[in-house]
Amino acid sequence: MRPICLVGIGKIAVDQHVPAIAASPDWTLAATVSRAGTVDGVPAYTDFAQMLAERPDIDTVSLCLPPVPRYDYAAAAIAAGRHVMLEKPPGATLAEVQALAAMAQDAGVTLYTTWHSRMAKGVAPAKAWLADKIITAAHITWKEDVRRWHPGQDWVFAPGGMGVFDPGSNALSIMTEILPAPVHLRQADLSFPANRDTPIAAELAWTGNVTGSFDWRQTGPQSWDITVETTDGTLALHDGGAQLVINGADVESGPDREYPALYDRMAALVKTAASEVDITPMIHIADALTLGKRHVVDAFDF
């Protein structure tokens, strides 16, 4: 198995990355880097440069840091000849991800911008079914409780944290994967808490009669749904893409293997030093933040 270092031992790393690596036939968790978090039985570093210097045996790094500091870590890893896997969204800006792609190409290493929701059970068959369909309308409903998924993580509301578009990027990654033709944003209404720098909710409208409702204030059941109307009927993805329903019939559903599938894909890419860099979902976020009308709403605190 190939040694990998996991950087940023927070909630998403503990909940998803660590179990996925542990179950993988391709990877072994050989080190972690984090200011405070650790994984039992795994050598832990607090300094990334020290890990790179002391562990030349580890040629792959998976970065689970927030988007803003991620570029510096990725650039250092690439400069040290390491393959790099980026948690979504892959960076704080489009330009820095493009720069990393160029660095990786020059260095001959893999750069993989992961979009875990694309690996949900229903996404691939949804894409296949829609491939030859005429789309008449589509709507995204992506509403969840930020206190549940990002407890106390103020960085999500800081510049570069993207606010509701952090989880919203999951929906956008599915939308851009399954629609047979690209769409572009025409209108956006963004709700900013009075004490925060990124939006907590958004209403978006694209070409092709595609709309989206995003909200981080949802309590109770969480809503991760995409509905696509076609001249041949209706397709719906529920539970973040895990369940596919076509014309009322349950076509595909299954257990969550999103993160294991990401590590499977990373292993395949590293074998040939190939890269997979897709910033399409980020383009829609950037467009929303550029085009969006700002609405100030009640202050938000964890």
Closest to 42 measured CA to CA, from 1, 4, 81: 4
Helices within the chain (DSSP H only): 11-12, 18-23, 48-54, 67-79, 94-107, 123-130, 146-149, 165-178, 258-272, 280-291
Catalytic residue among 11, 88, 143, 293: 88
> What span, in angstroms and rounded, lies between the C-alpha atoms of 215 and 142?
7
C-alpha dist (Å) from residue 210 to 127, 175, 226, 229, 285: 16, 10, 10, 10, 15
Q: Is 88 known to be catalytic?
A: yes
Q: How far is CA 26 from the centre of its chain?
A: 22
Instruction: Using CB atoms within 10 Å of the CB of residue 277, give its burial: 0 to 12 exposed, 13 to 18 middle, 19+ buried.
Output: middle
Closest to 17 measured CA to CA, from 264, 240, 275, 260: 260
Biggest CA pair distance of the chain: 59
Q: Mind telling me the catalytic residues?
A: 88
